[in-house]
């Protein structure tokens, strides 16, 4: 009897718990992960790694942008407070880390691409080109924030098989990054015209490329529009000036070879199809936060009110106790005087239905309004006033249409019905005193007009672009109250410092840029 | 109070009955006490709580009633009990108790050994030490009781985790918690909900707090590598062996009853000022305030304009004047400090534990069954838990040479609302409560009358008149109260730990033991987040409420066979051989489903109320490991012992190509007091020496290099789902090796004067090679970290335990003891050739925690004040010191230099008073939150120099805004003179002496602010402080009822006690916080800076213990 017990016990011990070698090997691998990938999967993995910043989400707005770019551009009004211009370390670190997570996925995509057969590399080149275009688009934003960044050698840990000692990345000079991107994009712009994509490739890409669904024409437009954006940003830098005028001239004069985003139908967006998928926006709690972080600035509202901007009712809504009056918050008041105004419910807010509560808000990469305003500046500087005027006016029209279109996507009705705009309302606005191109006597005045439009169009949707353009052009002219509480930043910064993980963990390479690492260093294109 | 009454009514009734019984008759008993060699003087005879001692001729005389029990006790002899009958003379012979020297202890694999045979240090803590003050888990009862053991409890109450560390920090990456083995069976310690210790904002716990101290017979601690070598790769941090109580030795049926009640109250808060409210001195012009420092706006209340404070987080504002002012909640109150304003945000925790145990033993079986009902609360609002445990421990002797042990331990827990982190209140500027503000106001305003979240300003609301519109509300506190009260979690779990052990004496010298055990935990968690913003305003994932269901299980199956062969080779030489195999499989499953995009109807808590398709996720974690092991033991004349062990481990967490590792050990004990003839005052002496290797592996899946995979779903009608992969972060490492600790130790154990004085000293030296680390990388390298073998640490130190009984009389005895351990940690080398390793960067390079080769781990570095070429401090334009952004200096080290405890037990008749203190010396921490409170003007420290009485200088501001010191009533141009000035001795940038007098408010704000040199001039060097303390950990006062009274209550004995825990500091270096306040996790570097988990508590309680 007892032996039966014991034998049973031994069998149980041996049978249930003893380990076979294969068992040990099996349990080494997390069933949730994959030990290999495909080019297509890594491509989509790369593209989706920046969605927290491309889409309108809580963290980006609440932590990163709320107290930084949204204030530096006066896209919103806020209560002046001590220490207000110093960006939080979380803003800087989170934005940086997300970009480098995204960059690492791009480098891994390159790594996977490099291991494809020569035939596959040829057939699937569209993946490489399109991934690089999007990567450059996001790179520009980060260079514009920090200046020199680790780039060409960055993100290679996986490519190096985990050998971290080889993976500490040197900093690339900001201007040389621009040069490299401009060179490559120019090459892509030509190559895309001759590229043949096998049907078998494009049918899969249609699924995996959730930006343009494998549409080569749209990638061409993205590419050339991005070139205009990059070239315009460096247009004030002596060493880039001739390149800027030559290349933009080439693009604008060969619309069929170098198509750009020229109508709202061309806009490069990450659209929201299904709120239940990871591609969606939750702007509301991000921009409003604890409340009131979406209050309109007096500067913007006054200009819109004065000139009868049709976007006013689409972009904004009156305060709860304001009846039908649109009012913005005066940024020159002291915090104590602003507080009752904010609490009083009379200030306008960004429109809940069009923007804050619009969960179908698409991630904006490049829009036709934006391209038009950049071109208006180019034409103006090139002495082609008529073309400048056309671009300026079409930009305004596209921008108005864009905001009204955003409203049609929304499933929120809390702002009440939106009265549609009309051609006559648009015309009245474009010819109003403060907006009319013809009323601007000088180039400087015209630049001011363009800047107002660009800034209004960027609003809270593209605050990093808006801040970069403000720093480049110093337009529209903003005044900020001096912050007496800090000797570090009594006025807004001109760049973001590096996150401390660079200083701390990339020490040797950081030494090369340490001297420039202050809030008041100017990015190389900031020359005005 | 009602609760208290309920908990205690049973015990109170008992006490009444006791008092009612008091009459009994006594006679005088006389006699002589002897041993083999004649009369014994000094023997204690006790009866009914009184007693006497024998005289030099061994004679005694004592009054006792018939039927009472005389107890004869003397150190070194077996205690003898004699029941008083009709006789008046009782002679007694005591026999020497060599067993005391032959004490049996539990060693690795649950094998009992004579303590004298061990070649390494081991400490055993007995049941009564664990339960004396009703600590809610066995670990918190161990403070200061084990040399070399350091305990740190996360604050907050019974559900918070406890961290244990033996002989310093052995691993940079992994927790320091030792392996926990209960009755020979591995127990998983990581909380199933909480792999990271901190789970979101609610503070989690670890698995060891599940175990009920009432059911524990003893806890043995194996500290060194040799002691723990049979646990191989799991024993890097040492091993804690828990033996549960069993029924052996109880004659017939025995019933033990224990009931206790304790109360935890918030204690050790910062030293707040009660002088002034929100704002800043007017001359700084920071808030646009009026001339008196109040808000420049007034607010009409019932037609009367009322003043208010500014809206701001700084508290250097106007002095309290007791005159009416408008508070942010719309109530007009006197402008006076709200002294205990945090009270409303926390609760007093009521805890009770009722335990009944039945034991029964016969010739062939013994059984103990116990039931406990434990109710605990945290000080966090709404936190309450119920735990029911049932414990069965049976032994059946099925035949002369075959027996079976069956152990079943069942734990049911219902945990509601684990303590909510107060991080935002202690470390967030906007969550620090001004002195004119009150937690109670927040409780009244955090939700609207309709139950939605508070609304500020002109935001959309169904109750616009309730919107919070007056200054100076703190949104972080409002959010905190909302989250604590309205975001609820309930965790229900069942844990079954069971084992069956078969013992078969095959032939006389050959024994086979086979054991199968399981530790199975399964549970469900329900999360309910209330609807914050009415859904008629639209659905939002963050504000429309949510509901989540989580279920998880964590299972360990463990099996072991052990064959032991004993052989006496000659009459002097004994030997035994043991060989065995064990294997363990762990498997964990987690599934969760939650609403997505908000709830469709306000506060409709169900998955069906999800606005979008509910989201679900799941994970599976597997772990397999096994080991072959053998030992050889030999002894010569039972005074020289040698043991050798060898274990070969395999584990699934390592690359299958190299996952097998070997761990040897050898140790020897030499009882020199038996080998040589020593002076008679030396009762016992032993030397120990040992060497061994133990190790540690990465956790499951940490090493494997793989891609994360996912889907974005269908993004365009007519296409497929978008499939994605991304690389892992932190990155794995297929070539990783286990950490290995090589340790040798020497020890000396001695007892003097018939065991009245005991001394145990140990020296150890450990080298831990191939340290595992998720090496932090700059994100620009491609990941935030990579798993790697980073280098080598060493720990060496000594442990000392002295105990003794200075006074021993029949009525009074005093026992005392000191445990002391000093550990010296060193980073020996780093494998990547680097000279230092950075663990953490604080607040934008304001300070870093790093390890430098050749130094102990965990140096705190911060920026010093910049100096000129002559070494003079440089003062900036604003009158405060400029920090040197290019330089960092060492200001402290996180490793404590010494830890230990000191205890005293006094017995007087039936009364017992016990005092336990524990201490820690050395070891720096950086309680930034405390400094930020000073920087916000909240602490008494921030009052320094606020006026002449506080040492402030008088000054006026010149045209450039510089402060010029003056003794005049006004400046030369009629400028106002302020009296809150401070002058920093030093030079300005151009080398001139600094003369710029600045407001003390500005000074504290700048110096105790957030951020590194690029952000601010905060002086983090001053934040780094040594955290030494001596704390009165436990005091208990007990009374044992006379046995005859107990008997009338049908009890064998009854004991009542009152006690307190965490009572007060005898000494501490950091005021304003509890020394353990910074414990935010089980990792060493989670215990250095975080002030933000929960408030610390002080506990009082009472206990009734009875046996029947």
pLDDT in tens, A373-401: 999 999 999 999 999 999 999 999 999 99
The CB density around residue B449, as the number of other CB atoms within 10 Å, is 9
DSSP H helix total and E strand total for chain B: 10, 59
Task: Please state whether the peptide bond connecting residue B1035 to the residue before it is cis, i.e. omega within 30 degrees of 0.
Answer: no
Q: What is the 3-state secondary structure (H, E, C) of B310-373?
A: CCCCCECCCECCCCEEECCCCCEEECCCCCCCCHHHECCEEEEEEEEEEEEECCCEEEEEEEEE
The residues that bridge with B542 in the sheet, in sequence order, are none
Q: What is the pLDDT of residue B1076?
A: 86
Angle between helices A89-114 and A125-146 (to 10 degrees): 160
State which residue of chain A sits closest to B582, comparing Cα positions.
A18
The alpha carbon of A289 is separated from its chain's Cα centroid by a whole number of angstroms, namely 20
Q: For residues B511 and A109, give the distance between their C-alpha atoms in angstroms, rounded to a whole number.
A: 61
What token pair was written down for B884?
A: 């040197």
Task: Establish if A350 touches chain B: CB-CB under 8 angstroms.
Answer: no
pLDDT of residue B88: 82
- B847 touches A at CB < 8 Å: no
ipTM score assigned to the predicted complex: 0.94
Tokens 């899969």 locate to A204
- Under DSSP, the state recorded for A247 is H
Inter-chain CB proximity A6 and B514 less than 8 Å: yes
CA distance A32 to B744: 42
Question: Among all chains, which residue has been given the structure tokens 């303390």?
Answer: B1029
Judged by a CB distance cut-off of 8 A, whether residue A360 touches chain B is: no
CA closest to A79 among chain B residues: B311
CA quadruple B750, B753, B754, B756: dihedral, nearest 10: -80
Which residue do the tokens 């040897």 mark? B664
Are the Cβ atoms of B848 and A504 closer than 8 angstroms?
yes
**How far away is chain A from the Cα of B907, in angstroms, using its nearest Cα?**
49
Cβ distance B778 to A82 less than 8 Å, yes or no, reads: no
Question: What are the φ and ψ backbone dihedral angles of B243, each rounded to 5 degrees?
Answer: -115, 125
Range with top average pLDDT, A7-11, A365-369, B147-151: A365-369
Q: B488 CB near a chain A CB, below 8 Å?
A: no
Which residues in chain B land under pLDDT 70? 1-25, 37, 49, 75-76, 96-102, 189-200, 250-251
- d(CA B422, CA B119) in angstroms, rounded, equals 47
Q: CB–CB of A356/A49 below 8 Å?
A: no
Of all helices (H) and strands (E), which one includes residue B306?
A: strand B304-306
- Candidates B543, B705, B1014; nearest CB to A518: B1014
| Interchain proximity B585–A19, CB inside 8 Å | yes
Helix (H, G, I), strand (E, B) or coil at B138: coil
- Residues A321-343: pLDDT tens digits? 899 999 999 999 988 889 889 88
pLDDT at A83: 84
**Shortest CA distance to A177 belongs to which of A455, A492, A513, A519?**
A513
Rg (CA), chain A: 26
C-alpha closest to that of B661 among B236, B234, B233: B233
* Tokens matching residue B249: 């030795």
CA distance A278 to B601: 23
DSSP character for A389? Answer: H
Is A184 near chain B, with CB under 8 Å? no
pTM over 0.80: yes
- CA–CA distance, B1034 with B282 (Å, rounded to integer): 50
Closest alpha carbon to A393 in A437, A448, A458: A437
Inform me whether the C-beta atom of residue A25 falls under 8 Å from chain B C-beta atoms.
Answer: yes
* Dihedral pair phi/psi, residue B13, rounded to 5°: -55, -45
What is the C-alpha separation between B615 and B547, in angstroms, rounded?
11
CA–CA dist B187, B519 (Å, integer): 7
Residue B49's pLDDT is 65
CB-based contact B459 A291, cutoff 8 Å: yes
Give the pLDDT of residue B473.
93
Does residue B998 contact residue B956 with C-beta atoms inside 8 Å?
A: no
Helix (H, G, I), strand (E, B) or coil at B106: strand
Beta strand B27-35 pairing with B92-93: parallel
What DSSP assignment string belongs to B428-486? -GGGSPPSS--HHHHHHHSB-TTSPBP-BTT---SSGGG-B-STT--HHHHHHHHHHHH
- Percent of chain A having pLDDT more than 90? 83
Residues of A in contact with B311 (CB under 8 A): 79, 335-336, 339
Could you report the per-residue pLDDT of B603-631, keeping only the tens digit for each?
999 999 999 999 999 999 999 999 999 99
Residues B7-50 have pLDDT tens digits of 434 443 433 333 334 334 578 888 888 877 677 777 888 877 67
Peptide bond connecting A476 to the previous residue in cis, omega within 30 degrees of 0: yes
Residues 6+ apart with CB under 8 A from A302: A328
Interface test with A, best of B780, B844, B999 (most A CBs within 10 A): B780
Q: How far is A195 from chain B (nearest CA, A)?
A: 23
Element (H, E) at B522: strand B510-529
- Among the listed residues A466, A461, A511, A472, the one whose alpha carbon sits nearest the alpha carbon of residue A494: A472
Q: Which structure tokens are listed for A65?
A: 């942008």
Closest listed residue to residue B840, CA positions, set B511, B1040, B1103, B1081: B1081
Segment A129-139 shows an average pLDDT of: 98
Task: Compute the count of residue pairs across chains A and B with CB atoms less than 8 Å apart.
Answer: 388
* Residue ranges of A 398-427 with Cβ closer than 8 A to chain B: 412, 414
Q: Say if CB B936 and CB B847 are below 8 A apart.
A: no
Q: Which residues of B526-564 are buried (b: 16+ CB within 10 A; e: fewer)?
A: bbbbbbbbbbebbbbbbbbbbbbbbbbbbbbbbbbbbbb
| A24 interface with B at CB cutoff 8 Å | yes
Q: Are the C-beta atoms of residues B216 and B242 closer than 8 Å to each other?
A: yes
Q: With an 8 Å Cβ cutoff, is A520 touching chain B?
A: no
> Closest to B288 (Cβ–Cβ): which among A210, A335, A344?
A335
Residue A17 predicted with pLDDT over 70:
no
Report yes or no: A145 and A64 within 8 Å, Cβ to Cβ: no
Q: Is B83 helix (H, G, I), strand (E, B) or coil?
A: strand
**Mean pLDDT of the region A29-33:** 93
Long-range (24+ apart) CB contacts under 8 A made by A211-216 are: A211/A47, A211/A130, A211/A134, A211/A268, A211/A269, A211/A270, A211/A365, A212/A130, A212/A268, A213/B716, A213/B719, A214/A126, A216/A126, A216/A192
**Cβ B153 vs Cβ B137: under 8 Å:** no
Is the preceding peptide bond at B730 cis, omega within 30 degrees of 0? Answer: yes
Q: How many CB atoms lie within 10 A of CB B67?
A: 12
Section A157-185 average pLDDT: 97
3-state secondary structure of A212: coil
Which of B294, B464, B624, B778 to mutate against chain A (most A CBs within 10 Å)? B778
Quote the pLDDT of residue B99: 44
The alpha carbon of residue A298 is apart from the nearest alpha carbon of chain B, in Å, by 17
Q: Report the sign of the C-alpha dihedral through residues B56, B58, B64, B70, in that order.
A: positive
Partner-chain residue, chosen from A165, A277, A319, that has the shortest CB–CB distance to B832 = A165
Which of A17, A46, A336 is facing B585, going by the closest CB pair?
A17
Q: Are A525 and A236 in contact (CB under 8 A)?
A: yes
């Amino acid at each position: 009897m007892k032996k039966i017990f014991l034998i049973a016990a031994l069998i149980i011990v041996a049978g249930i718990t003893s380990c076979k070698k294969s068992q040990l090997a099996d349990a080494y691998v997390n069933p949730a992960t994959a030990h290999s990938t495909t080019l297509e999967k890594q491509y989509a993995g790369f593209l989706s790694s920046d969605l927290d910043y491309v889409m309108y989400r809580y963290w980006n707005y609440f932590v990163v942008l709320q107290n930084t770019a949204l204030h530096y551009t006066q896209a919103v009004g806020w209560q002046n407070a001590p220490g207000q211009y110093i960006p939080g370390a979380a803003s800087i670190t989170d934005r940086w880390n997300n970009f480098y997570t995204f960059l690492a996925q791009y480098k891994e995509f390159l790594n996977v691409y490099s291991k494809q057969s020569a035939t596959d590399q040829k057939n699937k080149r569209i993946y490489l080109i399109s991934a690089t275009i999007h990567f450059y688009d996001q790179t520009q934003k980060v260079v514009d924030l920090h200046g020199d960044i680790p780039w060409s050698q960055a993100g290679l840990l996986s490519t190096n098989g985990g050998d971290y000692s080889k993976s500490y990345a040197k900093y690339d000079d900001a201007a040389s990054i621009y040069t490299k991107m401009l060179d490559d994009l120019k090459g892509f712009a030509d190559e895309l015209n001759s590229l043949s994509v096998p049907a078998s490739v494009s049918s899969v890409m249609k699924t995996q490329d959730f930006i343009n669904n494998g549409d080569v024409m749209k990638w061409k437009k993205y590419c050339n529009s991005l070139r205009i954006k990059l070239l315009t940003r460096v247009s004030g830098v002596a060493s880039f000036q001739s390149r800027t005028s030559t290349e933009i001239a080439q693009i604008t004069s060969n619309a069929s070879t170098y198509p750009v985003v020229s109508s709202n139908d061309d806009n490069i967006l990450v659209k929201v199809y299904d709120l239940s998928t990871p591609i969606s926006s939750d702007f509301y709690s991000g921009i409003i936060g604890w409340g009131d972080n979406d209050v309109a600035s007096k500067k913007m509202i006054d200009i819109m009110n004065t000139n009868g901007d049709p976007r006013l009712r689409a972009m904004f809504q009156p305060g709860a106790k304001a009846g039908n009056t649109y009012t913005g918050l005066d940024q020159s008041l002291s915090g104590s005087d602003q507080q009752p105004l904010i609490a009083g419910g009379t200030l306008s807010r960004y429109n809940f239905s069009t923007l804050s509560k619009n969960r179908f808000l698409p991630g904006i990469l490049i829009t036709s309004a934006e391209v038009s305003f950049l071109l208006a500046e180019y034409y103006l500087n090139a002495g082609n006033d008529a073309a400048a005027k056309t671009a300026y006016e079409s930009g305004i029209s596209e921008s108005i249409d864009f905001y009204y279109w955003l409203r049609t996507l929304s499933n929120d009705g809390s702002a009440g019905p939106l009265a549609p705009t009309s051609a006559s309302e648009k015309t009245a606005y474009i010819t109003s005193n403060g907006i009319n191109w013809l009323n601007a006597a000088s180039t400087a005045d015209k630049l001011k007009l363009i800047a107002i439009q660009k800034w209004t169009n960027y609003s809270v949707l593209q605050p990093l672009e808006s801040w970069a353009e403000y720093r480049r052009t110093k337009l529209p002219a903003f005044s900020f109250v001096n912050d007496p509480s800090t000797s570090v930043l009594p006025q807004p910064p001109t760049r973001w410092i590096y996150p401390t993980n660079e200083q701390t963990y990339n020490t040797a390479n950081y030494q090369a840029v340490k001297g420039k690492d202050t809030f008041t260093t100017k990015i190389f294109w900031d020359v005005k | 109070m009602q609760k208290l009454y309920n908990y205690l009514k049973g015990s109170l009734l008992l006490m009444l009955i006791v008092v009612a019984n008091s009459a009994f008759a006594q006679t005088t008993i006389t006699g002589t006490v002897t041993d083999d060699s004649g009369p014994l003087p000094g023997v204690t005879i006790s009866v009914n709580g009184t007693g006497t001692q024998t005289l030099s001729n061994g004679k005694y005389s004592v009054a006792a009633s018939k039927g009472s029990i005389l107890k004869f006790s003397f150190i070194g002899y077996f205690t003898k009990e004699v029941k008083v009958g009709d006789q008046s003379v009782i002679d007694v012979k005591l026999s020497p108790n060599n067993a005391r020297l032959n004490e049996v202890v539990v060693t690795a694999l649950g094998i009992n050994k004579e303590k004298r045979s061990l070649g390494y240090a081991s400490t055993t803590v007995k049941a009564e030490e664990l339960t004396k003050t009703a600590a809610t888990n066995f670990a918190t009862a161990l403070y200061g009781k084990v040399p070399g053991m350091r305990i740190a409890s996360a604050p907050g109450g019974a559900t918070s985790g406890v961290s244990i560390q033996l002989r310093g920090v052995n691993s940079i990456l992994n927790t320091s918690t030792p392996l926990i083995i209960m009755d020979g069976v591995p127990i998983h310690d990581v909380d199933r909900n909480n792999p990271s210790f901190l789970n979101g904002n609610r503070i989690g716990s670890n698995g060891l707090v599940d175990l009920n101290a009432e059911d524990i017979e003893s806890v043995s601690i194996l500290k060194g590598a040799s002691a723990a070598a049979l646990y191989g790769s799991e024993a890097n941090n040492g091993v804690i062996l828990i033996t549960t109580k069993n029924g052996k030795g109880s004659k017939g049926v025995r019933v033990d009853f224990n009931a206790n009640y304790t109360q935890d109250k918030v204690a050790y808060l910062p030293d707040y000022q009660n002088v002034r409210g929100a704002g800043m001195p007017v001359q700084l012009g920071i808030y646009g305030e009026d001339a008196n420092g109040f808000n420049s706006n007034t607010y009409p209340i019932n037609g009367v304009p009322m003043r208010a404070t500014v809206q701001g987080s700084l508290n250097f504002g106007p002095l309290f004047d007791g005159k009416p002012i408008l508070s942010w909640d719309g109530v007009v109150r006197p402008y006076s400090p709200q002294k205990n304003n945090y009270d409303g945000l926390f609760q007093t925790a009521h805890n009770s534990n009722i335990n009944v145990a039945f034991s029964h033993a016969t010739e062939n079986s013994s059984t103990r069954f116990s039931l406990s009902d434990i109710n605990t609360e945290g000080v966090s609002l709404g936190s309450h838990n119920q735990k029911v445990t049932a414990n069965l421990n049976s032994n059946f002797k099925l035949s002369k040479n075959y027996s079976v042990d069956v152990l079943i331990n069942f734990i049911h827990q219902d945990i509601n609302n684990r303590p909510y982190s107060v991080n935002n209140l202690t470390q967030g500027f906007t969550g620090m409560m001004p002195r004119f503000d009150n937690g109670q106001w927040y409780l009244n305003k955090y939700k609207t009358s309709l139950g939605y979240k508070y609304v500020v300003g002109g935001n959309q609301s169904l109750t616009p008149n309730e919107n919070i519109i007056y200054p100076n509300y703190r949104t972080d506190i409002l959010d905190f109260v909302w989250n604590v009260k309205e975001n609820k979690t309930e965790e229900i779990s069942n844990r079954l730990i069971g084992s069956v052990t078969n013992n078969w004496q095959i032939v006389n010298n050959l024994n086979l033991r086979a054991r199968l055990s399981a530790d199975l935990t399964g549970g469900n968690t329900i999360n309910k987040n209330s609807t914050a913003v009415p859904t008629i305003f639209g659905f939002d994932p963050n504000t429309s409420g949510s509901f989540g269901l989580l279920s998880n299980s964590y299972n360990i199956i463990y099996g072991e066979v052990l064959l032991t062969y004993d052989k006496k080779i000659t009459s002097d030489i004994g030997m035994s051989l043991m060989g065995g195999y064990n294997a363990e499989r762990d498997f964990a499953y987690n599934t969760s489903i939650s609403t997505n995009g908000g709830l469709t109807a306000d506060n409709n808590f169900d998955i069906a109320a999800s606005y979008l398709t509910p989201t679900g996720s799941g994970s599976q974690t597997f772990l397999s490991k096994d080991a072959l092991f053998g030992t050889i033991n030999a002894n010569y004349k039972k005074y020289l012992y040698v043991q050798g062990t060898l274990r070969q481990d395999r584990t699934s967490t390592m690359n299958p190509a190299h996952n097998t590792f070997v761990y040897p050990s050898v140790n020897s004990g030499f009882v020199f007091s038996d080998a040589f003839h020593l002076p008679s005052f030396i009762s016992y002496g032993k030397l120990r020496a040992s060497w061994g290797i133990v190790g540690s592996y990465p956790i499951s899946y940490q090493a494997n290099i793989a891609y994360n995979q996912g889907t974005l779903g269908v993004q365009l009608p007519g296409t497929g789902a978008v499939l994605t992969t991304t690389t892992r972060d932190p990155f794995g490492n297929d070539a990783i090796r286990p950490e290995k600790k090589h340790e040798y130790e020497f020890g000396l154990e001695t007892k003097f004067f018939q065991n009245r004085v005991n001394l145990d000293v140990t020296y150890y030296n450990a080298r831990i090679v191939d340290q595992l680390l998720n090496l932090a990388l700059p994100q620009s390298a491609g990941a935030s970290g990579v798993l790697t073998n980073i280098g080598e640490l060493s720990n060496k130190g000594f442990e000392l335990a002295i105990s003794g009984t200075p006074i021993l009389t029949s009525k009074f005895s005093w026992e005392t003891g000191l445990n002391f351990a000093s550990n010296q940690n060193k980073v020996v080398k780093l494998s990547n050739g680097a000279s230092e390793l950075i663990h953490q960067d604080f607040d934008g390079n304001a300070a870093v925690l790093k390890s430098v080769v050749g130094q102990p781990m965990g140096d705190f570095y911060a920026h010093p004040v910049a100096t000129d070429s002559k070494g003079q401090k440089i003062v900036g334009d604003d009158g405060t010191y400029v920090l040197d952004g290019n330089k960092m200096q060492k200001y402290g080290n996180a490793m404590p230099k010494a830890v230990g405890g000191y205890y005293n037990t006094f017995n007087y008749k039936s009364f017992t008073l016990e005092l336990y203190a524990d201490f820690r010396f050395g070891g720096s921490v950086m309680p930034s939150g405390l400094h930020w409170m000073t920087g916000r003007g909240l602490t008494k420290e921030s009052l320094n120099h606020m006026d002449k009485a506080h040492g402030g200088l008088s000054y006026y501001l010149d045209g450039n805004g510089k402060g010029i010191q003056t003794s005049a009533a006004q400046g030369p141009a009629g400028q106002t003179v302020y009296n809150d000035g401070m002058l920093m001795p030093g030079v300005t940038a151009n080398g001139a002496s600094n003369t710029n007098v600045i407001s003390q408010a500005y000074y504290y704000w700048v110096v105790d602010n957030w951020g590194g040199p690029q952000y601010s001039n905060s002086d983090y060097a001053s934040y780094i402080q040594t955290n030494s303390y001596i704390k009165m950990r436990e005091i208990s006062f007990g009374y044992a009822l006379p046995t005859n009274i107990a008997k009338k209550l049908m009890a064998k004995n009854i004991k009542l006690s009152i006690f307190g825990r965490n009572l007060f500091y005898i000494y501490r270096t950091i005021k304003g916080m509890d020394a353990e306040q910074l414990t935010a996790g089980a990792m060493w570097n989670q215990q250095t800076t975080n002030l933000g988990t929960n408030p610390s508590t002080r506990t009082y309680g009472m206990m009734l213990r009875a046996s029947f």
